Structure 1
Amino acid sequence: MSAAQDVELVEPRRIAVHDSRDPLEERGEVSPPQDAVSVEDVPPNGGYGWVCTACVFMLNAHSWGLNSAWGIFLAHYLANSTFKNASRLEYALIGGLSISQSLLSAPAVNISERCFGMRGTLLIGTVLLFVALFGASYSTQIWHLFLTQGVCFGWGLGFTYIPATATLPQWFSTRRSLAMGIASSGAGLGGLAYNLAAGAIVQKMGVNWAYRILAFCGLAVNTVCSLLLKDRNKAVQPLQNAFNYREYGRVEVMLVVAWGVLTELGYIVLLYSLPNYATSIGLTASQGSVVGAVLNLGLGVGRPVIGYYSDAFGRINMAALMTALCGVLCLALWVPAKSYGVLIAFALTAGCVCGVFWNTVTPVLAEVVGLKRLPSSFGVICLALVVPTTFAEPIALEMVTASGYLSAQIFVGFMFLLAGVSTWVLRSWKINEVELKAAREQHQLDHGGNEGDADDAEDHGFWLTPRMFLRLGRV
């Protein structure tokens, strides 16, 4: 490779001639257009894309942000023994269920997009979120919460988050990670606002009216944003396979799955357990709620910053480094955090990096699988995260019950560290792919565009080598 390529391994592509063939096409699963022109779509990289960014920001704030208010409702239920014979494990399952069901809905979301379009799917999600919160306000038994706050809210979250997240990358190229960082920060800032708002409403008007007020807020904002958000499917022409199990046979997809599974086993525990940890070290319930709010503040502040530097220094680079950094923070700050000040410092710093998977997964996927395969690949990855998101908090709760918080803290720290390692391996794979593509293009130039000779470049090298792991550059 040339010196310029050695410094910057991945450049945003504007127009690509003689691009590599899609493996799906090679196996005959997708028939390429007969009169196809090998010119890639050029995203606007701004313009109405910023309106779409604002819409996704608000959708995240009124879906993921609303979900984070569960911690306030949970504290109320535990303090007042609202549901008789309900155990802490059941409450922990409800929180995990709302997230896992959103991921389980991925195949149905993909089918809905094919039948009703992106906007119709978002409106379905908006209605489901409203029904979930409004129905939860009339819960009289614990199984009512499982159906409303758990299952129904989770499916509404999936029908809102998945299509919006897959749509936004279509509008950007060089600013893609920045736009995704801004949009995903809505989850953190929305969580901060709704944690504080729900706490105040519960104290003044009761938990049932808190649910109803949040339900109508989400209905109003999500409806407007669903109508304003636009996709560019006509230009991008993404593949709309509802579930393509062959994606699990691709090493790059499985590395993203490993990154997601390991990250979620740590992220869910931090999101739901930090306020409870605060009370376990002698802090008040009010201080614990502030710790949870500060974690959400870190999510809101850190995601745009990570997005900006991802565009500058490489999307996979930042994903790997920030994921590993969160593991270091858990071991270095959370384990010795026995005072309010230290815990606040940990919540803020860890909040900036603990949600890096959801902040960077779509830009990373766009780099790894391309925009055409992004929707179907993202759905397959979401489905693989159902089990860890469901049982992460119960696993941590059992650890705490058996041997205290130290074991859970070490568990969370190592999950993030291992997730960082898996992402670094993905980086090695991507570097090798870039070199293979460069070799194929060079073969075509040397042999007058003969693609048959270019296929010899497939034997260019093996990507699981120290040279690939230690290779510097923007990836």
Structure 2
Amino acid sequence: MNAVAPVLSSPAVSEKAPSSQVEERSSTSENTSSPQPVSLDGGLRGWCAVAGAWFIQFCMVGTVTSFGVTQTYYAQHFLTRYTLSDLSWIGTAPLFLEYFFGLSVGQLLDAGHFHWTVFVGTLVFLFSLFMLSLAREGQYYQVFLAQGIGMGAGLGICFLPTSGIVPNHFTRRRALAMGITTTGTSVGGFFFSVLFSHFLNGSIGFKWGIRICAFICLGCLIAANLLMRTHPEGWIAPAQQPSESSSPRKTPPIRALFKNVSYVLTITYGFVVCLGLWFPNFMVQLFAESHGISPGLSSWLLAIINISSIFGRILPNWLADRWGVFEVYMPCTALAGVLAILMLVCTHPASIVVFCILYGFFSGSVVSLYFPAVLCLDPNVGESGVRLGLACMPVGLALLIGTPIASTIVGTHNRWWAGCVFAGVTEIGSAGLLIIAYLNKRKLDARTVALKPDSD
């Protein structure tokens, strides 16, 4: 069963039907159902959109997910008076804001304001990144405002539009294209974590290290804004689609989305899984150093997770286009949870490296398959902005509170077992929600197939 491919397909007309019947049926379809975007399944415009979205995620999400490196620097040198739980809010705030703006930005996206939204978001992000370089040692509020709030707001404004523009250009290869886009997060996380580690622990230092990263982001974000273009017919909101004999169809109210049980279960899954998903990413360096692993190796662990997640964002998404999104998503989530618990026994150099490789792969698939899972539940891509935007909000809330909760559980006495169990249980439990959503979706699909001959 392919859960993604039918999303952009339109009702087929029999080859034996006369041309007049084709025109009549097409006209009837336009007036009675929501307009379906025309897709070229990629093309130059589509792959340029993938490249532009990739640059956005490379710069914005990459710098945010490199927080594990800066958190270690803050704890040991820059903000030494603050607890691990205090510092974790700097990293989780931008992750929360990345998804918090989802619903409002999604409505702007459906209304056709893609380019201005992304432009404003890039300006906010770049301004905040440069301001971070001006933060003074020991001034927690300055770091939090620039890195936690400002960069998070810029990321939140850009994230959904750049994630949502890609599926509008693809049909059969939608999950794969979205997975390729999310590899920008992994490559950026690897690149910036290595760069931050080199700058912060070398002669360049904090201020100029951040400024150099900001100039790199400036060039990439200019390229991203120039590359991304909406589909000439595919990103027209339902309210903008022309209709000859009926009033335009508006985006469905939010309460209508909650009538879809599988959709509700899927976004609930997004909340539960993200409570513990990022704990290993943020804590693996401190975990390794607390178990006697050399700082030279531990500083590379987050980079290993990020580079491994590149493959976890491509291969599972490629399989999802062939086997179905949920069929791939469920085992990947469960395995990520098992690995989070097994982090406890990875206290030697070889074992912690193997853990980072495996966890990076499966946690990457958890991230990259979320939006394809949400989209495959309803075929109306013209309303994808609102659907994805609403799905972002529980994820943002979980990212805001998840890592601080786990950090508090670990505490100053390094109760690592409690943090790892918390992360593993939330991920394994969320896999159960996916299973229920999948079974409900199959039941509805079977009912639709059974009723289809009667409707014809």
Q: Same fold (TM over 0.5)?
A: yes
1:243 touches 1:379 (CA, 8 Å); kept in 2? no
Name 2:74's counterpart in structure 1.
77
Matches within 5 A, 1:423-442: 423-442=434-453
1:309 to 296, 319, 324: 319
Q: Distance in 2 between matches of 1:160 and 1:396?
A: 28
Could you tell me how far apart the structure 1 residues matched to 2:254 and 2:222 are?
A: 31
Q: Percent identity?
A: 21
Q: CA–CA distance in 1 between the matches of 2:76 and 2:5?
A: 54
After superposition, where does 1:247-326 map in structure 2 within 5 Å?
Answer: 247-326=257-336
The partner residue of 2:415 within 404, 422, 426 is 404
Given candidates 29, 47, 52, the residue that maps to 1:50 is 47
Query: 2 CA distance for matches of 1:38 and 1:440?
Result: 20
Counterpart of 1:225 in 2: which secondary structure?
Answer: helix
SS at match of 1:368: coil
1:369 aligns with 2:369: no
Deviation at 1:269, TM superposition (A): 0.7
Query: Which residue type is aligned with residue 322 of structure 1?
Result: C
CA shift for structure 1 position 46: 2.1
**Contact 1:9/1:434 (CA < 8 Å) preserved in 2?**
no
Task: State the partner residue of 2:398.
Answer: 388
Q: Secondary structure at the match of 2:382?
A: coil
Q: 1:268 corresponds to which letter in structure 2? A: W
Provide closer, same or farther for how the CA distance between residues 158 and 11 of structure 1 changes in structure 2, counting only shifts above 3 A.
Answer: closer
Equivalences, count: 424
Structure 1 stretch displaced more, 273-282 or 381-390: 381-390
SS in 2 for 1:392: helix
More deviation, 394-403/219-228: 394-403
2:11 is matched with which residue: 16, 27, 39?
16
Distance 1:37 1:239 in 2: 10
Cα distance in structure 2, aligned partners of 1:160 and 1:284: 38
Which of 149, 159, 162 does residue 147 from structure 2 map onto?
149
**Equivalent residue for 2:135, pick from 117, 139, 144:** 139
Q: Deviations over 1:196-232 (max 9, x none)?
A: 1122222121111111111121122112212211122
- In the superposition, the TM-score normalised over structure 2's length comes to 0.86
* Amino acid of the structure 2 residue aligned with 1:138: L
Q: Distance in 1 between matches of 2:392 and 2:259?
A: 16
Asked whether 1:128 is paired with 2:124, we answer yes
Q: How does 1:76-475 map to 2 (within 5 A)?
A: 76-80=73-77, 82-83=78-79, 85-113=81-109, 117-140=113-136, 141-202=139-200, 203-232=202-231, 234-238=233-237, 244=254, 246-331=256-341, 333-370=342-379, 371-401=381-411, 404-444=415-455, 449=456
- Residues 212 and 108 of structure 1, relative CA distance in 2, 3 Å threshold: farther
Matched, 1:66 2:76: no
Offset at 1:107? 3.3
- SS at 2:376 equivalent: helix
Match of 2:23 in 1: none
Partner-residue secondary structure (3-state), 1:63? helix
Q: Which runs of 5+ in 2 are unaligned?
A: 14-27, 240-250
Judge which range, 279-288 or 247-256, deviates more.
247-256
**Structure 1 pair 233/214, CA: closer, same or farther in 2 (3 Å)?**
same
Structure 1 residue ranges without an equivalent (≥5): 1-6, 19-31, 450-475
CA distance in 2 between counterparts of 1:396 and 1:385 reads 16
